Amino acid sequence: MAWIKIEGQRIDFHDLQDFHPSSPNSENIVEFANSWLSGHHSFEFQTSGSTGKPKKITISRTQMECSANMTMKALSLTSSDTALLCMNPTFIGGKMMIVRSLINQMNLVVIEPSSNPLKELDEPVDFAALVPLQLINAINNSDSFKKLKSISNIIVGGGQVSESVRQEVKSLDNHIYSTYGMTETVSHIALQLLSKHSDGNHFTALDGVEIGTDERECLAIKAEVTNNSLIVTNDRVEIIDSNKFRWLGRIDNVINSGGIKIQIEQVENTISEIFNSFGLVNRFILKGFKDDFLGEKVILIIEGKIDGKSLESLSQYLPTKLHKYEKPKEIHFVDKLIETPTSKIVRNTDYKIVSSIVI
């Protein structure tokens, strides 16, 4: 039987029933693993709102087994591999790392979720799941970066991967994937290779996943993980072929400025490239603010500070790369962008502005 390393102790999974965790994170992992091993047939999860308002849903054991098998096949994972769990185990992404380990009899190393869990990693692992912030911080720490490069397969979920990060990992020899998925699809149903040999910015659906669009051009998904029911998302996509699609952004992340509909994520991608060219690593978001003339005006909200010279260059360069309606009318600075428990940036909130400029 495979083992789990939790709170520094290496324990056979079946012996977890006698383990007494000392942290809420460990308690969640132990409770779920014991429930799975005792044969529970269904589990309750909170959705993030990808297909509508957040709600609680029940996912069957069969669906989770199917999802795990699809991932293991896509990444060629074997029972000789060791997995790393350093995400919040309350949500589907963390739970599925446990399920994959149990089904495939992989060893599992548990590290408490943090902004850079690889700093605490003290033994080799072959497979890991990270959120974008964890990937960024691993890249920016020399010791963590060495560990990152040694992990054969890494899946990154819970948010967009910035252009600067893509540039950092595109030459790496290991396999780093951006994932597309949600609670309703029992974790990811498509992968996009970010590291060496990447063949573009599209996602490739896993075997057995059918994709299409509705009248809004939003992605629709049907697979065993959805109980062969059609799941219609709020994600606008461009279908390339029967198993490939390009993600354009959330249909509810549109700013209507002067009658022009602006897809936030597409503009953010361009701004990310500009940030990368200036060596800026600050996180940022675009928001629409009410405007008497335009209806909504585009505002760029940047986390932290940037020096005066970079700010001046940024202000001058943005209008050359963006349409006049896409160009931010103001830049606001905040101390910290708010995150959800799954490390997604919260857009729909009133941020406390530290300073701002009009451009």
Residue 26, beta-bridge partner list: none
Residue 161 has pLDDT above 60, yes or no: yes
Q: Are strands 82-85 and 42-46 parallel, antiparallel or unpaired?
A: unpaired
254-358: CATH superfamily: ANL, C-terminal domain (3.30.300.30)
Exposed, middle or buried: residue 320 (CB in 10 Å: 0-12, 13-18, 19+)? exposed
DSSP 171-214: T-SSEEEEEEEEGGGTEEEEEEE-STT---S-EEEPTT-EEEE-
Exposed, middle or buried: residue 253 (CB in 10 Å: 0-12, 13-18, 19+)? buried
Residue 106 CB contacts under 8 Å (≥ 6 apart), including other chains: 2, 77, 78, 79, 81, 82, 83, 100, 127
Say how far apart CA 298 and CA 304 lie, in whole Å: 19
Residue range 223-248, pLDDT digits in tens: 999 999 999 999 999 999 999 999 99
145-148 contacts: CB < 8 A, separation 24 or more? 147/118, 147/121, 148/118, 148/174
Q: What is the pTM of this model?
A: 0.85
| Domain locations in the chain as residue ranges | 3-250, 254-358
User: CA nearest 74: which of 206, 188, 187, 202?
Assistant: 206
Residue range 22-35, pLDDT digits in tens: 999 999 999 999 99
In this prediction, residue 53 carries a pLDDT of: 66
In this prediction, residue 203 carries a pLDDT of: 97
Measured CA to CA in angstroms, residue 104 lies from 90, 101, 107, 333 at distances of 21, 5, 9, 46
The answer to whether 271 and 263 have CB atoms below 8 angstroms apart is no
Topology (CATH level 3) of domain 3-250: Rossmann fold (3.40.50)
Residue range 48-100, pLDDT digits in tens: 655 556 788 999 999 999 999 999 999 999 999 999 999 999 999 999 999 99
In this prediction, residue 51 carries a pLDDT of: 59
In this prediction, residue 219 carries a pLDDT of: 97
The alpha helices in the chain, defined as continuous H runs, are 24-37, 61-75, 92-104, 132-139, 142-150, 163-169, 264-278, 308-321
Measured CA to CA in angstroms, residue 333 lies from 160, 302, 336 at distances of 21, 5, 9
Mean pLDDT of 315-330: 92
Q: Whole-number mean pLDDT of the chain?
A: 93
% of the chain residues with pLDDT over 70? 98
Measured CA to CA in angstroms, residue 198 lies from 175, 244, 285 at distances of 9, 14, 26
